[in-house]
């Protein structure tokens, strides 16, 4: 595997961890609003397993992103990180059962096409 493809693999893994982390934070935040005291939501967030998973995902994302930047130009890696939008839409549809309309799918298709073009350039 060439260094470029390895870098793109690291970017893809990093944005997948970022997407999972975002959804874990969303899942954790939905459970934290039950306590209406002044600091209650913050206390519940720090004890929430989903928030801990989200933090761990962002740590993994940072490590993978740094590895990717060692192998790729930022002008390739940063646009490729927009794959996070695609992963978040897919995961939110299947994990959180959110509605993703046709317009979003079309937009995500354009993002995916752009990432492929940048990756092949």
pTM: 0.81
Annotated domain spans of the chain: 3-120
First to last CA, the chain: 17
94-105 pLDDT, tens per residue? 988 889 899 999
pLDDT tens digits along 4-37: 889 989 999 999 999 999 999 888 887 766 556 6
Query: Residue range 45-62: average pLDDT?
Result: 88
Q: Mean pLDDT over all residues of the chain?
A: 87
């Amino acid at each position: 595997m060439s260094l470029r493809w390895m870098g793109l693999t690291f970017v893809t893994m990093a944005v997948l961890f970022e997407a999972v982390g975002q959804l874990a934070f969303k899942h954790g935040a939905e459970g934290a609003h039950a306590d209406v005291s002044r600091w209650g939501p913050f206390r519940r967030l720090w004890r929430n397993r989903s928030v801990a998973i989200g933090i761990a995902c962002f740590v993994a994302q940072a490590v993978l992103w740094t590895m990717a930047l060692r192998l790729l130009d930022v002008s390739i890696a940063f646009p490729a990180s927009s794959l996070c939008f695609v992963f978040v839409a897919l995961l939110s549809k299947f994990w959180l059962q959110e509605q993703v309309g046709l317009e979003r799918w079309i937009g995500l298709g354009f993002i995916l096409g752009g990432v492929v073009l940048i990756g092949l350039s």
